[in-house]
Amino acid sequence: MKNFWLSNYKSIAVRGLGAAVVGGLMVFIPDVTLESFVMVVGGLVIAVGAFALFQASQSEISKERRMFRNAEGIFNLILGAILLFFPNLFINIFVVVVGIFFLLLGILQLSGALGFKIPLRLAWFYYASSGLLLISGIILLTNPFESAVTILRFLGIILMIYGISESIMAYRIKKVGQYDKSGNLTDEISF
């Protein structure tokens, strides 16, 4: 069976290079990367809102659908403007919400473990994961922007590792495989 994911060394190399570059940006200039990402999402949300308003202006749709599309369009325009012009506000709100979620999960898990009358075999693991959730929630809530940057850097490192591995794979496929002029494998190779 042909592996289409690994069938063209050129596309693997481009995928790897792109992932490594984006990962590097996330690691080495995370504030700019994070803000830029939120601003791009804001621009996309504005485009979706404008399209919804355009659809609402079409005469072929019902009155109820037109009202819904107008409301959707206005909401998306407002949300997109907030994301585009105040990216740090959105980042902080998102991290605070995740921090609160982690705190609640930790509290619920810990209260469940403490309320259990029968000794559990892996109770220490349950307590440790509860503690980890509580600590994570507190860290996220005490400094949300720095926490977001740390998370982004971690994801950037993972993306860089993925990109480097894809680049190595592209090199190996080019070296050992038989391929046509466009870079597609003409036979199966084993690793």
Amino acid at 143: N
What ranges in the chain are assigned the alpha helix state H? 9-28, 30-56, 63-85, 87-114, 123-142, 144-176
182 belongs to a structural domain: no
| pLDDT digit string, tens, across residues 36-73 | 888 988 999 999 999 989 888 876 777 887 888 889 99
Q: Crossing angle of helices 30-56/9-28, nearest 10°? A: 110
- Structural domain containing residue 161: 9-176
Tokens of 103: 């705190």
Q: Is 2 among the domain residues?
A: no
Determine, yes or no, domain membership for 83: yes
Write out 149-174 in H/E/C secondary structure: HHHHHHHHHHHHHHHHHHHHHHHHHH
Kindly indicate the confidence band of residue 119, based on its pLDDT and cuts at 50, 70 and 90.
Answer: low
- The answer to the question of residue 38 being in a domain is yes
- If one counts the domains in the chain, the total is 1
**Which of these, 94, 83, 107, lies nearest to 140 by C-alpha position?**
94
Nearest Cα to 149, choosing from 21, 45, 20, 25? 25
pLDDT tens for each residue of 5-27 = 455 677 778 888 988 998 898 89
User: What is the pTM for the complete model shown?
Assistant: 0.59
pLDDT confidence bin for 1, thresholds 50/70/90: very low
Task: Tell me whether residue 182 is exposed, middle or buried, using C-beta atoms within 10 angstroms of its C-beta: 0 to 12, 13 to 18, 19 or more.
Answer: exposed
pLDDT of residue 47: 93
14 in a structural domain: yes
d(CA 149, CA 146): 5
Separation between Cα atoms, residue 48 and residue 173, nearest integer Å: 41
